[in-house]
Structure 1
């Protein structure tokens, strides 16, 4: 009898240790997610098939929200992948009886810190997506969302994402002395910017690496007159080489100062003439949040 009693205790302990994996809960206990892109775009229109978002979820203690941690949360960096019109999580996430805070970010990564996660925009943002491998522009476009105090009665968790870096759009305009059409082989570079930063997942704030070295970013082409790039938020206080347009072997270089603001799109119109020394710049208005 004593031997059977010991065996029974061992079995019960084993079952308790594996409760998370063996407990069967009704489907309505599993969380569902609706991911809302800032302007229905992670690339040009919306999140694409196969895009992955990272999810962190914390559980309240009564009315007190729990702090977000690198581990030990209700959910720790679970990937949600877009397939069809639905987001499927790498494992089922179940509701708690308490309220919860839900954090989402894109693109998916493996964080080593919650408040100082290293991040960098791509130096070549003209590279295109190849299967699950994001193109340089998409991989640089950090998005963040948070939904506070959600409860199971809401059924679906809606996450409204926002751009957290800065976007620069360069538009080429033919000057009076520029002959012919704009070529289809122009290349536009952004000089003198720091591409490295840290991310605070609790707030979604992206902070330039204070010790980061300046580098050059190759933009991606939208059409013969429009080029764009994602930039870490920062201020260029001193006048220095800024934008370079290479057209048919001729380099048009502009020196200037600039302030890349977080979550905003900046548009610069560059008027180029036959003389590469004659480059005029016009700064357009800023677009917030949902970039077009």
Structure 2
């Protein structure tokens, strides 16, 4: 039975950036230089996951100018789009000194994402690459996207309300007896995402499937319960696909999906695995007779 939980991911605005001008020594026309305005980035995250930006967090920003007829430009039409990193110092967002964006009367739309990725300048922002494979304890793997419209020198505040574009999986392991911290892996999932930064939609590379080591959340050696989370590309997996592997008493057990599952963007999927008992729902398909995988909750991140 699938129980739906309302997991609320509130994305709110917080923080500021307002920088005027540069030194007179650098500017042949001081009066004009003094009027140069950078975007005032207003962006933050609140809610249960994640709880907010931290000092040193960096977002990537793509500005796209309006045309002479006052119509918005299209992100991806330029061969070498301007890609500006902004770093949070705990109070405001600061652009890298060598990539500042100065606003004029011509408005721009601002497309932003987190975490910032250093990519080739010719990378198409409509197929922005993001890898989810390997150990997710070692790096940021969630991907957030936001857009602010009609920003100019006169109206320079870019209010960025970030959204999740990937899927989240939560895994809870239950044992009858105390255990060492188990080794857990996600199997048979597509791990290379392509993000269309013009829309905030994610697709996957069909030829790349690699293991994912989920991020540890709770449980230490000697406990009976351990929790993990993983971020995956939105995709569909079929019933009986080996989805999880767990090392238990020197053996590797593979757990299959009990049904066809569509992992959708912005959704959270909760799995419970009970090891050492067969008291769970006997209709659930599994490879190891003494291990059960059960879907206990699917909930959407909501503002």
TM-score, length-scaled by structure 1 = 0.76
Map of 2:241 onto structure 1? 240
Q: Is the 8 A contact 1:38 1:160 kept in 2?
A: no
Unaligned runs of 5+ in 2: 1-26, 220-225, 279-287
1:66 correspondence with 2:111: no
Any idea what SS the aligned residue of 2:238 has? strand
1:267 correspondence with 2:270: yes
In the TM superposition, residue 38 of structure 1 has moved relative to its aligned partner by: 6.2
For residues 28-107 of structure 1, the aligned pairs below 5 Å read 29-37=37-45, 39=47, 41=49, 44-61=50-67, 62-69=69-76, 71=78, 76-91=82-97, 92-107=100-115
| Counterparts of 2:202 and 2:66, CA distance in 1 | 26
Deviations 1:149-208 (A, max 9, x none): 34555442110111111111001234xxx2x33x35112211111111322111121111
Supply the RMSD in Å over aligned alpha carbons: 2.9
| Counterparts of 1:45 and 1:164, CA distance in 2 | 17
| Counterparts of 2:292 and 2:48, CA distance in 1 | 33
Q: Residues 148, 184 of structure 1: CA spacing in aligned structure 2 closer, same or farther, 3 A cutoff? A: farther
For residues 121-270 of structure 1, the aligned pairs below 5 Å read 121-127=132-138, 135=139, 138=140, 140-174=141-175, 178=176, 180-181=177-178, 183-210=179-206, 212-224=207-219, 225-256=226-257, 257-270=260-273
Q: Is the 8 A contact 1:237 1:258 kept in 2?
A: yes
Deviations 1:124-149 (A, max 9, x none): 1122xxxxxxx2xx1x2121111123
| Counterparts of 1:286 and 1:144, CA distance in 2 | 22
Q: Is the 8 A contact 1:33 1:159 kept in 2?
A: yes
In the TM superposition, residue 60 of structure 1 has moved relative to its aligned partner by: 2.0
Q: Is the 8 A contact 2:271 2:297 kept in 1?
A: no
| Counterparts of 1:52 and 1:70, CA distance in 2 | 25
In the TM superposition, residue 289 of structure 1 has moved relative to its aligned partner by: 3.0
Which structure's residues are more often helix, by fraction? Answer: 1
| Counterparts of 1:284 and 1:37, CA distance in 2 | 27
| Counterparts of 1:121 and 1:39, CA distance in 2 | 23
Any idea what SS the aligned residue of 1:48 has? coil
| Counterparts of 1:65 and 1:227, CA distance in 2 | 42
In the TM superposition, residue 83 of structure 1 has moved relative to its aligned partner by: 0.8
Any idea what SS the aligned residue of 1:115 has? helix
In the TM superposition, residue 45 of structure 1 has moved relative to its aligned partner by: 2.7
1:108 correspondence with 2:116: yes
Q: Aligned match of 2:33 in 24, 41, 44?
A: 24
Q: Highest CA radius of gyration, 1 or 2?
A: 1
In the TM superposition, residue 245 of structure 1 has moved relative to its aligned partner by: 2.0
* Farther off after superposition, 61-70 or 81-90: 61-70
Count of residues in correspondence between the two structures: 254
In the TM superposition, residue 20 of structure 1 has moved relative to its aligned partner by: 11
Q: Is the 8 A contact 1:166 1:232 kept in 2?
A: yes
Deviations 1:238-265 (A, max 9, x none): 5221112224534332112432211211
| Counterparts of 1:170 and 1:21, CA distance in 2 | 59
| Counterparts of 2:244 and 2:255, CA distance in 1 | 5
